[in-house]
Amino acid sequence: MMDRYQMDRYQTSPVCPPTPYEQRRLAALRELDLLDTAPSEAFDRITRMAARLFDLPVAAVSLTDSDRQWFKSRVGTPHSEIPRRPTPCATVTESQALLVVEDMLDHPELHDSLLARDGVRFYAGAPLFTRDGYCLGAMCVLGMAPRQVTAAEISTLEDLAAMVMAQIELQHALGRLDPISGLPNRTQFIEDFNDLCRDRAPGSRGMVLMFNLANPDELDAAVRVMGVGYIDAMLTEAVELLRAFLGDGRTIFHVGATRFACIIDSGHERADDQPGQHEQNDEHELAVARLRYMLADHADHGRARFVTTATFGLAPFVVGQASAIDVLRWCHGAAHDALAKPGRVSVYDPQHDDLYKRRFALLNAFGTALERGDQLHLVFHPRVDLRSGVCLGAEALLRWTHPELGPVSPAEFIPVVERSSLIRATTAWVIEHTLAQLARWQAAGLRMRVSVNVSPANLVEDNFAARVIAAVARHGVPAQCLELEVTETAVMEQHQRSAAALHTLAAAGILLAIDDFGTGYSSLSYLQKLPADVVKIDQSFIGSITVDERTRVLVATMIGMSHSLGYRVVAEGVETAEVLDALHWLDCDEVQGYHIARPMPAAAFIDWYQEHVA
């Protein structure tokens, strides 16, 4: 009975290049992410039980790596791994069969093994098979004396091996399932996407669709009001709807808190039977139309309909040209863009992605520029009194020379920086350098006013006003020499906190201007309560006052109203003598624009200033 496991079947395999089976076996082992992980009680319990049942001192879960036996769990041995050859465990893996060695001394090929040197005489090991039939190693028991095994012991060892494999597969699955929805997660998505790409010919196409149930703000609000249980129910319901829509044959992956993805394999196997651009667009439009229909249904019946805005993002991909991570990122972007699209469905647009990547790269590079300082400088754009022609001062404007890209326009980088926390350091840099410049000019006997642009986020920073006031004092510059330009939108957003900061600054004598006036949504009745001194009418109006009668009337009204509320009025973007003339007639106070001068570095500006001061 015992002979089928006996040592006469024992052979050590010669060292040779891995066979295709061995390569796939090693890949299966590595994919489980088990090697070199910490000990785990779930496995140790089985190993202890094995040693006890056999009444032997040593037991182990031994995995066969390319050149070693690594023990996921062990009792009675100090080694965490031993060389693969010569070991009976490697033989179990290679022969894919249970092995019993009654006495190692009878087998000269094992005499050199570490186990034999440790005094081991007896070995019994059952193979650990994955569901796909790969043998990972052995569940083994070892003794210090020769021994025989009974049939009952053999089946016990096989049961223990099966328990080890169940544990391995359970752990593997757990890392791939979302605990709430029970759906395969992002890790599984990546694996399945890679498998699909391996199976398909390079150049064939597919599409990934992503459903996002809610944006982060909505999710946050919903959790606060209705609790986590409600959100879980909302997600379950959304998955049911998706499944009904996509059909049972498709796998839905839970790839983010409120996000689900599905791989649509278009089935075009070969690059040369690709549909034309026309057909592709038709296909996308069809998909978009169907998804809109599903969203409309969700909006009518879903539990989430009152609290969330669900969207779909689609990302077509070409096998071999995109990674799983790329495609997920594209879908993510498209699902976000869909918030602004009719029907809330959007298809990924590579051009948009390039723009996004450039913005991200700019933001990173700008962070470095701020740290180093040598890529940034200020230019000064003269502000001139319209009636006397005298230069009153300037607006400080930030300039950035990127080491590779060259000069980058603030119209491009400021909006990006404004949406990040870097805006705090940016405004601080501009204010600091402006005040230092003002102090140097003051020391040379030149006293003027310089305005600095401040972003909406600055006004709600902690202690923003106090820090500006302290900087003014530190540089010994009179408060009235600094003017802060804020846009209408800035003062309307979170207006209570912004208004508090503005009042503190005004009380310290710092001047305030409302920039880009006419482009926001502010109400004059609200602005009137702000302690501003100056209104700067946006250049989009000024350019056309000589050609468009309605704009001229609008500007005349803005000037009249601002005057009656006590503001000084500046016209931005004066590009021609005709516009300058028209502004005289409209009784504007101050002008700024290319017709008068271009923004200039400090040294050039001061020369210009001295020629234009009374």
The site for ligand C2E (CB under 6 A) is made up of: 381, 397-398, 409-411, 414, 427, 430, 453, 455, 485, 515-516, 539, 572-575, 592-594, 599
The Cα–Cα gap between 543 and 535 comes to 17
Q: Which helix (H) or strand (E) holds 146?
A: none
Which CB atom, from 193 or from 366, has the smaller least distance to ligand C2E? 366
Residue 409 binding target from ligand C2E, Mg ion, none, CB below 5 to 8 Å by type: ligand C2E
Residue 293 binding target from Mg ion, ligand C2E, none, CB below 5 to 8 Å by type: none
350: preceding bond cis by omega (within 30 degrees): no
Nearest distance from C-beta of residue 601 to Mg ion, angstroms? 18
Instruction: Give the binding range for Mg ion (CB under 5 A) out of 265-273, 456-464, 513-521, 578-586.
Output: 513-521
Residue 411 binding target from Mg ion, ligand C2E, none, CB below 5 to 8 Å by type: ligand C2E
Which CB atom, from 561 or from 600, has the smaller least distance to ligand C2E? 600
The Cα–Cα gap between 589 and 342 comes to 45
Give the residue among 589, 591, 576, 587 at the shortest CA–CA distance from 543.
576
- The CA–CA distances, whole Å, from 453 to 195, 286, 384 equal 53, 48, 18
516 binds Mg ion (CB under 5 A): yes
Which CB atom, from 222 or from 448, has the smaller least distance to ligand C2E? 448
Alpha carbon dihedral 414, 415, 416, 419, in 10-degree steps, equals: 110
Nearest distance from C-beta of residue 473 to ligand C2E, angstroms? 21
Nearest distance from C-beta of residue 451 to ligand C2E, angstroms? 9
Which CB atom, from 485 or from 589, has the smaller least distance to Mg ion? 485
Q: Who's near 602: CB < 8 A, 6+ residues apart?
A: 378, 380, 437
Partners of residue 135 on adjacent β-strands:
129
Which CB atom, from 38 or from 411, has the smaller least distance to ligand C2E? 411
Residue 156 binding target from Mg ion, ligand C2E, none, CB below 5 to 8 Å by type: none
Residue 225 binding target from ligand C2E, Mg ion, none, CB below 5 to 8 Å by type: none
- A 10 A CB-CB count for 341 gives 16
Partners of residue 207 on adjacent β-strands:
264, 316
Nearest distance from C-beta of residue 253 to ligand C2E, angstroms? 42
Which CB atom, from 136 or from 392, has the smaller least distance to ligand C2E? 392
Q: What angle do CA 27, 28, 33 make, to 5 degrees?
A: 95
Nearest distance from C-beta of residue 395 to Mg ion, angstroms? 6
By DSSP bridging, strand 68-75 and strand 58-64 are antiparallel
Residue 69 binding target from Mg ion, ligand C2E, none, CB below 5 to 8 Å by type: none
69 binds Mg ion (CB under 5 A): no
Total site size for Mg ion, rule CB under 5 A: 5
Q: How many helices (H) and strands (E) does the chain have?
A: 22, 21
* 3-class secondary-structure state, position 384: strand
Nearest distance from C-beta of residue 226 to ligand C2E, angstroms? 39
Nearest distance from C-beta of residue 596 to ligand C2E, angstroms? 8
Residue 178 binding target from ligand C2E, Mg ion, none, CB below 5 to 8 Å by type: none
Which CB atom, from 291 or from 597, has the smaller least distance to ligand C2E? 597
Give the residue among 166, 176, 174, 170 at the shortest CA–CA distance from 61.
166
Residue type, position 43, single letter: F
Residue 159 binding target from Mg ion, ligand C2E, none, CB below 5 to 8 Å by type: none
Q: Who's near 32: CB < 8 A, 6+ residues apart?
A: 136, 168, 172
Instruction: Give the binding range for Mg ion (CB under 5 A) out of 159-167, 350-358, 507-515, 596-604.
Output: 507-515
Nearest distance from C-beta of residue 523 to ligand C2E, angstroms? 21
CA gyration radius, the chain? 37
Q: Who's near 347: CB < 8 A, 6+ residues apart?
A: 284, 288, 313, 314, 315, 316, 334
485 binds Mg ion (CB under 5 A): yes
Contact residue for Mg ion among 178, 483, 515, 589 (CB under 5 A): 515
470-503 burial code (b ≥16 CB/10 A, e <16): ebbeebebebebbbbbbbbebbbeebeebbebbe
What sign has the CA pseudo-torsion 536, 539, 541, 547? positive
Nearest distance from C-beta of residue 410 to Mg ion, angstroms? 10
Residue 397 binding target from Mg ion, ligand C2E, none, CB below 5 to 8 Å by type: ligand C2E
Which CB atom, from 157 or from 514, has the smaller least distance to ligand C2E? 514
Which CB atom, from 214 or from 454, has the smaller least distance to Mg ion? 454
Which CB atom, from 235 or from 398, has the smaller least distance to ligand C2E? 398
Nearest distance from C-beta of residue 452 to ligand C2E, angstroms? 6
Residue 381 binding target from Mg ion, ligand C2E, none, CB below 5 to 8 Å by type: ligand C2E
Which CB atom, from 29 or from 583, has the smaller least distance to Mg ion? 583
User: Using an 8 Å Cβ cutoff, are 535 and 505 in contact?
Assistant: no
Nearest distance from C-beta of residue 469 to ligand C2E, angstroms? 19
Binding positions for Mg ion, 452-481, rule CB under 5 A = 453
User: Whose structure tokens read 């079947």?
Assistant: 9
- A 10 A CB-CB count for 386 gives 20
What sign has the CA pseudo-torsion 234, 239, 241, 242? positive
Which CB atom, from 64 or from 592, has the smaller least distance to ligand C2E? 592
* Footprint on this chain of Mg ion (rule: CB under 5 A): 453, 485, 515-516, 572
